[in-house]
Structure 1
């Protein structure tokens, strides 16, 4: 239920060796657990899932038959997917040692994850990463968690109980035809467990060198014969990260969140879900503000107050063997208050979908959606202002996709389009065509051509932000204040994407997933210098946003899994990306995007009750362009280690060391602050007791 008045306040390398890792690859989507019956999938179809079947007991052939939902907004096996998809399953989550969603996403080839400070991350797919990354759609149980203020995600408040996540489906490449305008470069869909799969109690706790203390409590049970529920409460207290050669600015975080989920299956043709969450807390932030006196800027530590709530309801029902409807409604309230801006936002979203099979060769998915957004954004004079400070928006969308069987069990064509309407850009069309060839069981080749658009964000249209002050000179005796200004005449950015992929069981113990792409971006929004003018005791230099840049990118992403023994599994990943076009080497497109990335995970079972997990990661050097100049980000190689012991039935104790190969390293910087936070070597212990 909506909780708008809730408020809390808390005080609170070996580097070059890894170039040889190129094309030594990865762990891919085939390796996910079978789905429990969820509101969007098998429960409605009346299929009996096997949520407790252990991953090591599944053959690679079985793994390729697990069912996904996000790529086509319907239940389908991985072997039928015409997209580059990676699934982070429950085993991956448990054995990763990660404590945050961004850290989990580091295992996906083609996904860029960089820590900006202790509670802020830059996350993107296939480039355009940074503080304001805006070409990625993130969903939690079908609820969009992006903010229209800049078109990105506030990762600091997406702090789920990781044990409650069933899987994370990551679509690399455009998902706009099915999911809309923000899904230009990909979709991350986080799907939590059905309430029926979380019966009983779970208590977890962890503490360490930076983790001051995190605890979670979950309880689930049944309601009669057809319904189940769960309740959870989580507390997080995380300390500061390291800051080198810059002002020491606190970036600690303290947060409390809770929520519930109810799933009901009154009969095999109907599945009802009601769920909600609330959170409240604080996070340390830093903002560098331009001033008119020496030293012409000041970096201020601030405490951001963060709170919000959401309520989601969903109904899935079968009208017959070939017809299924889904209706989802959610409300989301977000409040953030810091030195730069105070943002309050209400979102109401309604989504209707119909899956229909016609004449045995057509599988049609169509639907419509409506979203209402209302915000109030109060900025800081001369630093950040929106005009008008309050605004309401109405968004409409229609989508239709037809999957046509050309040759049974061998050749399929998928064609569709999304129509999206906003008051400021009008109607936009985002079509796609995809082809899937399955020459033999266990092998598939797919290709796709897609057009996507991204609607300019509220900030790009209405914001006025102070960037820096240029000190006086003999020729310009007054300080010059650089101001970035929004533009209501911006057109949507566009992308035409060409993709091809291959996935297969190569042997009984070895599977591969390879995808490549060529992207053409047009009308990318960037600042253009206007004419300076005198404004009292200062010179104002405006930077006006416009559709200025065109870029192309190409790349390859490889994923492999090898199980050399029943007790040992290797999962790895490699990705390469390259941008071209005028100024691409120092562009927003290339920002915080290493040309080469690699990941390798080793999962060893030392007997029935002891796990030893190693996770090595490499990111090549890159740069982060700011208006004040580019910051060079060195390449880094790091490794995590996890040792876990199941001391008693239901009780697991683990010790995790993160970033062990070096004391600290820089991953990214902020557009809002000169503070340079680094990722440190840390250790923590964790206990998880299920009963």
Structure 2
């Protein structure tokens, strides 16, 4: 069935080393890969009780996870900046959901539900040698369920406090030479509504996702896989502080977004040692946020027609003449003759307030083609190599004043050799050229030595880059005012130009260079099988990371500082332990201690020096099960995060139908803000009841 844990496989697999696909694009035992890896399978997802995808990332040591602005999750490995996570690649079935135009991962809008996920593989450490620029500090690879492994239909309903109302329907079918599955999921809640800025206007959220996958095997050598889906989100957004100083909001701001994707994979198995894979996908994202405002008169501070001065050509000219200095522009405006003439024209137009709507709009499109060839030369050598061509297009009237594009060409190769039976040497490199950054190369080298059966030492060296996005490289911010009252219809006469833009304008110098990282890692992986004590798996990682040429400044319409002046150094230790004493118990512990040094305060806000987690899952018998989890991060921007979760549930057969219910409680253990002082919602207890029917 759709959500059943894989208990039946426990006895057969407790002595086997798990295999992963992500770190080097090769199917390898986790003990041989050139990286530290965290695997979150369906059992762990089920045990965590997570309602949203981003929440399971708390099971990864060293991962910073929080809602930094009410309904916007932030997820970053070795977190630095709290609001702009531009340095980690997220894949969904091999498709990058790292958005091309504005360098971000929107966790609310990833078009997949947790119930559709088979496993998540997290490569902890730079992986640009396998995936190119933007796999800067790591890779999260979300792998959905193969329709050949599921059957039947599923319906799910979840209800809880804070307006939690979730629903899901899913279906799958096997047919000759193939199978398909399709799910529709709707999640909504009222957020926290703390009554404090910026949440005083509400932070409700609604997300609808569609995810489908079909597999067809026309012959025993060939497999065709179709991926398709999309998402629609609606988020209440807080007011922009910079605008609140000069205007009054007349309606709530709402972010609306639509996303669609379509992908096709063809795999040809030439032999047991040679495989070819061709992947092509297209994806499109549309977002817009409304700003409904009545602007105050800049000279009197009151409402009225004088507010139109903020959108006059004369004030824009004065702003440019003052070198983009906002304070100097407003201070000199009362003495500027051109500005004063425009002000008199607006006052003569009548007493109607200057009210209108601005739109923050973003449209992004990506087309991607990749050919990957995997060859095993002998028992001791395997190579994966390939080529990739990608076309990214960004369009925004507000942020780009039009359309911008970027085309990249890429070559990659990763080699794994076993010169001696207990030693694996991994070498990899990724060459790429794009229109923004030119030529780049990211190498990685690793050696794994199995000093004793089941116990492996690991050493890895890697360099990686994060290329500037279209926005950083080609921003031309112009906020147009629309939907003005009828008396302002002649904008050319009243404001000096048409269309009319907010006087503040920001432009990228086009000189931003790629961010860079150098990483050194020493690690240990051990797997213990001790009979009555069950199976235990331990991974330790000591690392040193140096990041430089970071774009650390703000990149918003009021403060735009795209300079490569940021530097960060991380060093620390991470550990993860999984212990299965019996088939009925699972204990998972994670911990990290990271010392961060940075020359910019913004680069330390999301870097927790100490973090830890514990998860215990107990199958009680009779279909009953229990789980409890503890999460700690000390600190995010000097504020600790600490929470305990508890969950109880039961699965039972009712004729041909399987019924499952669970009740989960999330209890914060302090009332500190989350990252920023205004996010005072950590003392908000949450609970929900979930009922699932499989038939």
TM-score scaled by length of structure 1? 0.81
Give the match for residue 345 of structure 1.
Answer: 364
Contact in 2 for aligned 1:243/1:249 (Cα 8 Å):
no
Instruction: Choose the corresponding residue for 1:613, options 616, 622, 627.
Output: 627
Q: How does 1:632-651 map to 2 (within 5 A)?
A: 633-648=638-653, 650-651=658-659
Instruction: Choose the corresponding residue for 2:445, options 433, 436, 444.
Output: 433
Instruction: Choose the corresponding residue for 2:548, options 508, 514, 522.
Output: 522
Is 1:587 the equivalent of 2:595? no
Q: Between Structure 1 and Structure 2, which shows a larger proportion of helix residues? A: 2
Q: Which moved more, 1:422-431 or 1:558-567?
A: 558-567
Give the match for residue 385 of structure 2.
Answer: 366
Contact in 1 for aligned 2:111/2:231 (Cα 8 Å):
no
Instruction: Choose the corresponding residue for 2:571, options 544, 548, 554.
Output: 554
What is the rounded CA distance, in whole Å, between the counterparts of 1:236 and 1:653 in structure 2? 18
Indicate how the Cα distance of structure 1 residues 482 and 645 shifts in structure 2: closer, same or farther if over 3 A, else same: same
Q: How does 1:678-689 map to 2 (within 5 A)?
A: 678=682, 680-689=684-693
Deviation sequence 1:165-209 (CA, Å, 0-9, x none): 100001110110001111110000000011111211111110100
Per the alignment, in what secondary structure is the counterpart of residue 620 of structure 1?
A: strand
Give 1:108 shift: 0.9
Per the alignment, in what secondary structure is the counterpart of residue 657 of structure 1?
A: strand
Deviation sequence 1:592-647 (CA, Å, 0-9, x none): 12110000111112223111100011110231xxxxxxxxx421321011000113
Is 1:578 the equivalent of 2:595? yes
Contact in 1 for aligned 2:113/2:209 (Cα 8 Å):
no
Indicate how the Cα distance of structure 1 residues 466 and 241 shifts in structure 2: closer, same or farther if over 3 A, else same: farther
What is the rounded CA distance, in whole Å, between the counterparts of 1:656 and 1:189 in structure 2? 27
Deviation sequence 1:202-229 (CA, Å, 0-9, x none): 11110100243111111111222x1101
Higher relative contact order (CA 8 A, sep 6+): 1
What is the rounded CA distance, in whole Å, between the counterparts of 2:554 and 2:183 in structure 1? 49
Give the match for residue 354 of structure 1.
Answer: 373
What is the rounded CA distance, in whole Å, between the counterparts of 1:521 and 1:161 in structure 2? 34
Point out the structure with max Rg over C-alpha.
2
Give the match for residue 328 of structure 1.
Answer: 279
Give the match for residue 490 of structure 1.
Answer: 512
Instruction: Choose the corresponding residue for 1:404, options 403, 417, 430.
Output: 417
Is 1:394 the equivalent of 2:407? yes
List alignment gaps of at least 5 residues for structure 1: 1-35, 37-49, 380-384, 468-480, 530-539, 624-632
Q: How does 1:109-508 map to 2 (within 5 A)?
A: 109-158=61-110, 160-224=112-176, 226-243=177-194, 245-247=196-198, 248-291=200-243, 301-339=252-290, 341-379=360-398, 385-387=399-401, 389-408=402-421, 410-463=422-475, 485-508=507-530
Give the match for residue 7 of structure 1.
Answer: none
Give the match for residue 305 of structure 2.
Answer: none
Give 1:571 shift: 0.9
TM-score scaled by length of structure 2? 0.80
Per the alignment, in what secondary structure is the counterpart of residue 83 of structure 2?
A: coil
Deviation sequence 1:399-450 (CA, Å, 0-9, x none): 0121121102x11211121001111211101011111111232111111111
Per the alignment, in what secondary structure is the counterpart of residue 251 of structure 1?
A: coil
Give the match for residue 341 of structure 2.
Answer: none
Per the alignment, in what secondary structure is the counterpart of residue 240 of structure 2?
A: strand
Give 1:90 shift: 0.5
What is the rounded CA distance, in whole Å, between the counterparts of 1:93 and 1:51 in structure 2? 9
Is 1:94 the equivalent of 2:46? yes
Indicate how the Cα distance of structure 1 residues 258 and 640 shifts in structure 2: closer, same or farther if over 3 A, else same: same
Per the alignment, in what secondary structure is the counterpart of residue 680 of structure 1?
A: coil
Indicate how the Cα distance of structure 1 residues 129 and 551 shifts in structure 2: closer, same or farther if over 3 A, else same: closer
Per the alignment, in what secondary structure is the counterpart of residue 246 of structure 1?
A: coil
RMSD of aligned alpha carbons: 2.8
Give the match for residue 667 of structure 1.
Answer: 674
